[in-house]
Structures are given as structure tokens and as C-alpha cells.
Amino acid sequence: MDRAEMDRVEMDRAEMKTEKAEVESELSDFEENMRREIEAYMQPAQQSERDNATQSPEQFAEQFAAYQENVGKQADGHGTEGHDAAVTAADESTVTSNGAAAGDSPASQPAKPRSKKAAKKAYTGTAYRTGHLVKLAVRTKPLSMDIVFEHVSSSISKLEAQLEAEKAARKAGYPIIGYLIETTPLNNG
């Protein structure tokens, strides 16, 4: 190679380096813009989660006292009686995927506690249904106690049903704390 060819090769390398630097700076600008957009998108969602708490502290304290009372009964009982008490306590402090407490009625009267079978029948009705009833532990406000979030999914897969329940809980404004309590298949059995 002669001197002119070597100079041309060096110039090509220099051009490639500058082009690479430009692409990297464009990419970092793009990454910065995306990061800003994501943060801007997430901040209102986090704020609305805090603002959308549906229970007052007094209502939550009443539910928690009832839960503690029923847990005490569960510890004293043996066999299924204690389990039914825990299920009743969970039903009393349960939030459905439409955002209302499970015991809410149009007249705002507390619903009667029901057994696991009665809860299952309430969701299944008379027609055969596929899907799952998923119960997740959620938190109403930061640093507050946990409650149960119930979601009825039409998905056949337990994993898909759980993901749908988590999505519905987030949409309703309840932060997920990562505990799957129960997944029950919906059927007339």
C-alpha cells in the first residue's frame, strides 16, 4: 500500500468513529427521553394509587379487629371449623375486582359471612363456568395492613388467571405485595 491508500483508510476509520459516536449520542438521547417519559407516566399512577384508597382508617380498623377475632377462633378450633373461620374473616375483608368490598350491597349493609362452598357457588351460578377465582394479598395504603383482593378470571390457566388478577388489582388502585393466597377453579363441582 502506498501513502495515499493509507491516508484514505485512516480517513475512513475516522469517519466511522465519528458516525459511531453520533449514533451512540442519538441512542443515549433516545434512552434519556424514554426514561423521562416512563417516569412521567409512572408518577401519576403512583399518586393515583395513594389517592384511590377506598377505605377510611376507621373502616380498615374495624375489619382488622374482626379478622383478629376470627383468627383467635381459628387457633382455638380444630379441623375445618378453624379453617371456615379464617375463610369467613377473609371474605369480610375481601375486595372484589370491581373495586367494591365483597360484602357491599346496594343498601350498604354488611353481607353475611359465607363458607368456601357458598362463595364458590355464588360465582359459578347454575351454568358451568371455566376459569379461576384468584385471591391476592394487596395493600390499601403504604404502611397499612394487608387485605384480600378477589378476582374472577375466565382464563383456563392458573398463571394467566393470577396475572389477570394482579392487573385488575393495579387498575383498581391496590398495590400488589406479592402474595398469592388462593386460586380456585370455577366449576359446578
pLDDT at 97 > cutoff 70: no
Other residues' Cβ atoms within 10 Å of the Cβ of residue 50: 12
| C-alpha–C-alpha distance, residues 149 and 99, integer Å | 9
User: Confidence band (pLDDT; 50, 70, 90) for 76?
Assistant: low
Q: Higher pLDDT residue, 164 or 136?
A: 164
pTM for this one? Answer: 0.32
Q: Higher pLDDT residue, 71 or 171?
A: 171
| C-alpha–C-alpha distance, residues 133 and 81, integer Å | 22
pLDDT of residue 50: 54
| C-alpha–C-alpha distance, residues 162 and 120, integer Å | 17
The helix/strand/coil state of 146 is strand
**CA proximity to 85, closest of 97, 75, 95:** 75
Give the bridge partners for 183, in sequence order.
134
Mean pLDDT of 138-150: 70
The helix (run of H) or strand (run of E) holding residue 180 is strand 176-185
pLDDT of residue 84: 44
pLDDT of residue 78: 47
Contact 100, 129 (CB under 8 A): no
pLDDT of residue 92: 46
Phi, psi of 112 (to 5 degrees): -75, 140
In whole angstroms, how far apart are CA 1 and each of 6, 8, 9, 13, 58? 7, 11, 10, 16, 87
